[in-house]
Structure 1
């Protein structure tokens, strides 16, 4: 599909490529219209929600531009850069999904396997009829958004899952759930015979070329780890059951935009990893106009802003929704808009990309500001970069 950019942005991008410049938020003359476009979307969103700092990365045709705002901490913080480490919350689920797809590509598991196969303690429970794919797409039958407060360790986790009974037949309803995809990642790691954290930090992240992405931020990088803010108080994510699998990744804008590129064009990656990434873009069912992939959420391209907002609404996030299954599942394709939101108590993040147009945006903030505001800001930038979205948004 032909790439369509507005004339002003196309001219700016060409100029930046010739000079080899990387865009930053300090206001250099090289940024031109692209800087003004990002500023116009990001600065009002930050002001409205009193966000202390944000790192934004934009990729256009394989070239990366970074726009950095505010500080890493209100007291004694540094200026945000593309190398500042942020918590990305549920965007972590896309990494868990990639690891699962990688495990399938190398023959360690099949997504059609029943969950109890990899955790014998669940034999005889509801998980004898629930597949790994059901867990990875939140369609196991109604697992809740969070564990009950009493579930505080692995033994209590297993006891909870053994006693849990689904409200719906597996594969018929989607209910967004940290326990669901958390168990999914936990079982994937068991199938591969290594701890989940090690598989991420020693296998997946290096294979993707991500040098500043962590489950456990090393002491040597703690100075670059931003503080999040809730009720104007600094905070970072607390340990929890299956936290690594569901919301535990910490990373930078520079690494996340590289991950976006790997998802749009993984030509430089190992063949098995390329197939694994493509597998996460398979569509399994629809809820409204949103197509559920493995970790990622997708929309037919071009799409209107209201459709994306509806797919991330409280009704979709907090309630069980009947699904329209795609039979067979829809293979990965380029003409989609792919996105995922993520939050912890103190951080808010958003990633969106359009493979056919080779454009994508990463937004990392040290405050959990409204999801709708993130989506609107990113969509505003995308419309400036992409004439087709501008046309869709006008309808």
Structure 2
């Protein structure tokens, strides 16, 4: 019988669920033990969802573990590794938010500033009355999930913003939105006096120690870039669009994404100004149901049931507007919290979740946009199994 894979001791219930035994023995975990847990969790879902390749990166008490499955590209048969580059879609928003947290910490950005103050071309528009914070928390008044097709380019986005009319008063509703978070990142870069890509790749990513995280994959790294597959299993990769760099363009490896998770788990171990930078992104501004909205990140009381976590990451939360309950003052990161973010592109699906009080975090990346609910289930099962 295998020993129990646990950061402390895998619970008997979790062990029984995955290995069909009611006997439980505490043991110091190793990769082989964790491999059994992860494989039992992800392999059925990969088969059900026809996923070519998937990686799970897990950090337990500061130790990284990598579990790789399938192929990065069907035509070459190249196997997924912890160095394979995956598109992470909207998890990119947390990187953008971290850049904003850096701008705050270094005194360059005040989140109460009106958008048109930072981008004068918006003077006379609705953005005279919309703050940077409202853009960064999807509460500008109803900016849509995506830019309209005729405005989805750098050349047309300014005209779109200039004529856009809110559906609700700024600050009253949450409407998840690429244009909202994208503009938040665009204005952050303006506050820093740099183009966004330069601020991200030359300032923030090096400070975080991320050497294989890209907005645009360089030629010499293309051999590591996984091929994504759409719902019809046709090859696809993310396409350029308005504010794509700010909202959904990051490509990264399991090694780098887990390092990023570890930075968020233990920011106090990082050099200044990163501890305060990350604390800024973990600040809660309002609640919708069980979810507290941070900058980029979404937070839940921990422990949390699978049902509640699924509700917070549901299609309804992403596609519909919700009235918000603002916290006054904003709430620092609670002691017991699960922090997460989903990300998708046409050919990739990803999910990150971590629990600072347990020093446990997980990153899941696949070259298929498989259902978010399945990603959440994977993470919840594994986190539940390796925490008491």
TM more than 0.5: yes
Which residue of structure 2 aligns with residue 281 of structure 1?
282
Say yes or no: does 1:220 pair with 2:220: yes
Is this contact kept in 1: 2:9–2:27, CA < 8 A? Answer: no
Deviation of 1:77 after TM superposition, in Å, equals 3.2
Which residue of structure 2 aligns with residue 136 of structure 1?
136
Deviation of 1:156 after TM superposition, in Å, equals 1.6
Which residue of structure 2 aligns with residue 88 of structure 1?
88
Deviation of 1:4 after TM superposition, in Å, equals 5.7
**1:9/1:181 CA distance change after superposition, 3 Å:** farther
Is this contact kept in 1: 2:290–2:300, CA < 8 A? Answer: yes
The number of aligned residues is 369
Aligned counterparts of 2:71 and 2:326: Cα–Cα separation in 1:
44
Which residue of structure 1 aligns with residue 347 of structure 2?
346
Is this contact kept in 1: 2:227–2:235, CA < 8 A? Answer: yes
Say yes or no: does 1:120 pair with 2:143: no
Deviation of 1:313 after TM superposition, in Å, equals 1.1
Deviation of 1:55 after TM superposition, in Å, equals 1.0
Is this contact kept in 2: 1:138–1:181, CA < 8 A? Answer: yes
Aligned counterparts of 1:190 and 1:126: Cα–Cα separation in 2:
19
Is this contact kept in 2: 1:334–1:354, CA < 8 A? Answer: no
Aligned counterparts of 2:88 and 2:227: Cα–Cα separation in 1:
13
**1:373/1:9 CA distance change after superposition, 3 Å:** farther
Is this contact kept in 1: 2:338–2:354, CA < 8 A? Answer: yes
CA RMSD of aligned residues (A): 1.3
Aligned counterparts of 1:91 and 1:9: Cα–Cα separation in 2:
37
Deviation of 1:153 after TM superposition, in Å, equals 3.0
Could you tell me which runs of 5 or more consecutive residues in structure 1 were left unpaired when the two chains were aligned.
Answer: 17-22, 24-30, 388-395
Normalized against structure 2, the TM-score is what? 0.93
Say yes or no: does 1:177 pair with 2:181: no
Deviation of 1:270 after TM superposition, in Å, equals 2.2
Aligned counterparts of 1:11 and 1:254: Cα–Cα separation in 2:
26
Aligned counterparts of 2:57 and 2:273: Cα–Cα separation in 1:
27
Task: List per-residue Cα deviations over 1:263-293 (Å, max 9, x = no partner).
Answer: 0102342221210101100011111111111
Which residue of structure 2 aligns with residue 232 of structure 1?
233
Deviation of 1:9 after TM superposition, in Å, equals 8.9
Aligned counterparts of 1:370 and 1:135: Cα–Cα separation in 2:
27
Which residue of structure 2 aligns with residue 11 of structure 1?
27
> 1:74 is paired with a residue of what secondary structure?
coil
Say yes or no: does 1:295 pair with 2:311: no
Aligned counterparts of 2:246 and 2:229: Cα–Cα separation in 1:
23
**1:66/1:126 CA distance change after superposition, 3 Å:** same
Task: List per-residue Cα deviations over 1:134-184 (Å, max 9, x = no partner).
Answer: 000000000000001111433421111111111111111000000000000
Which residue of structure 2 aligns with residue 20 of structure 1?
none
**1:44/1:9 CA distance change after superposition, 3 Å:** farther
Which residue of structure 1 aligns with residue 264 of structure 2?
263
Aligned counterparts of 2:77 and 2:205: Cα–Cα separation in 1:
27
> 2:287 is paired with a residue of what secondary structure?
strand
Aligned counterparts of 2:194 and 2:9: Cα–Cα separation in 1:
45
Deviation of 1:250 after TM superposition, in Å, equals 0.2
Normalized against structure 1, the TM-score is what? 0.91
Is this contact kept in 2: 1:9–1:385, CA < 8 A? Answer: no
Aligned counterparts of 1:5 and 1:245: Cα–Cα separation in 2:
40
Which residue of structure 1 aligns with residue 100 of structure 2?
100
